[in-house]
Amino acid sequence: MEQPALRPPASLDLAASPCADALRAELIARWAEPHRRYHTTAHLDAVLAAVEPLAGHADDPGAVRLAAWFHDAVYDGRPGWDEERSAQLAQARLAACGAPDDLVREVARLVRVTSAHAYEPGDANAAVLCDADLSVLGGAWPGYTAYANAVREEYRDVPDALFRAGRSHVLRRLLEHPHLYGTATGRALWEARARENIARELASLA
């Protein structure tokens, strides 16, 4: 499946250097791997775009943007494992490019947060990253349907009955949260439609 061209910031919020250029190229290549269906360059582009209206909530928007680049840079369809490997990749590559230690630690921490989208109250950077990652839930129904179908394709080896049961469990747990989004802006932009979309997909899985 051919993916749309990616148009994110060229700098990765790092000082311009051959290392930063090489890292950007590596990350784009990873996100364009042929086995991906949802976690593609299009998803990365969407997350980076969604960070922008939320950036004012973050303590360190640059760290959030870098974490968006890395959050599924390693993707084998193994929840938890993928995020851990992606965090380790961020630590190695950012350190090699001379990023400050505190920035490296924060980016890796944020990548790990995306494993379960769980974070402590007041964790502004995590709230922004997670809201951006989940912004797809609050899009128009055709886009949401494309997202849901792409997720199914990534789990195409899972029998239909098992997938439907697992997906239904995930969706029900989302609806149990008092808020899907951790920032006021995220809630204003996406909360109502996201709940409608999730309920609609859940009904289709029954």
The count of other CB atoms within 10 Å of the CB of residue 165 is: 12
**Intervals of the chain under pLDDT 70:** 1-11
Q: Are 36 and 27 in contact (CB under 8 A)?
A: no
The count of other CB atoms within 10 Å of the CB of residue 99 is: 26
Both 39 and 124 in a single domain? yes
Please give the residue range of the domain that contains residue 157.
135-206
**What pLDDT sits at residue 17?**
85
| Alpha helix positions (H), the chain | 18-31, 41-54, 61-70, 81-96, 101-113, 124-133, 141-154, 160-176, 184-186, 192-205
How many structural domains does the chain have? 2
pLDDT digits 0-9 by tens, 1-43: 333 344 444 457 777 789 998 999 999 999 999 999 999 999 9
* Backbone φ, ψ for residue 202 (5° rounding): -60, -40
Both 128 and 157 in a single domain? no
Tell me, what DSSP letter sits at residue 56? G
Last residue of a domain, one of 97, 115, 133: 133
- Asked if residue 50 is part of any domain, the answer here is yes
Both 101 and 165 in a single domain? no
Both 77 and 87 in a single domain? yes
Q: Are 114 and 129 in contact (CB under 8 A)?
A: yes
- Specify the 3-state DSSP secondary structure of 80: coil
CB-based contacts of 206, cutoff 8 Å, min separation 6:
168
* Backbone φ, ψ for residue 113 (5° rounding): -60, -35
Distance CA 87, CA 110 (A): 8
Distance CA 20, CA 51 (A): 21
Distance CA 187, CA 152 (A): 26
**Residues 129, 114, 133, 179: what is their CA dihedral angle, to the nearest 10 degrees?**
-80
- Asked if residue 51 is part of any domain, the answer here is yes
- Asked if residue 4 is part of any domain, the answer here is no
Both 141 and 75 in a single domain? no
Distance CA 174, CA 150 (A): 19
- Asked if residue 198 is part of any domain, the answer here is yes
Distance CA 198, CA 141 (A): 10
Last residue of a domain, one of 81, 113, 133: 133
Both 29 and 127 in a single domain? yes
